[in-house]
Amino acid sequence: MSVYVKRLVLDVLKPHKPGMVALSKEIALLPGVTGCNITLIEIDKKVENVKITVEGTDINFEKLNALIEDNGGTIHSVDKVSTGKKGSKIVEEAEYSH
């Protein structure tokens, strides 16, 4: 039985161009991706640090990474990943109380 990547949260360093809207649209066009959210974390003279959240039915990390690199960006870390079988829902992070 196959398991699919359904959500990725990435910490990315990218140049100002392309802008967040353009990059988000490119990511959303990747096969297996249903949507993308990019949040600005920090802005510098030459670069932006952004959090990219990607959701889909079968996200191909290698293609996503290549697209980000082709646009001048670098993935610093994978902060979250959600996987599951076909048709399964995304498992949300459990709340932790002491």
The pLDDT tens digits of the residues spanning 43-92 come to 999 999 999 999 999 999 999 999 999 999 999 999 999 999 998 989 88
Q: How many domains does the chain have?
A: 1
**Which residues on neighbouring strands pair with residue 78, listed in sequence order?**
10
* Cβ contact 8:61 at 8 Å: yes
Helices within the chain (DSSP H only): 20-28, 61-70
For residue 34, the domain's CATH number is 3.30.70.1340
**Is residue 8 situated within a structural domain?**
yes
**Is residue 66 situated within a structural domain?**
yes
**Is residue 47 situated within a structural domain?**
yes
**Is residue 41 situated within a structural domain?**
yes
**Beta pairing, strands 4-15 & 74-84:** antiparallel
Is 93's pLDDT higher than 90? no
Which tokens hold the place of 3?
């398991």
Is 98's pLDDT higher than 80? no
Torsion-angle region of 19 (φ positive above 0: left; ψ -120 to 50: alpha; else: beta)? beta
Q: What is the pLDDT of residue 10?
A: 98
**Is residue 38 situated within a structural domain?**
yes
Is 21's pLDDT higher than 90? yes
**Is residue 37 situated within a structural domain?**
yes
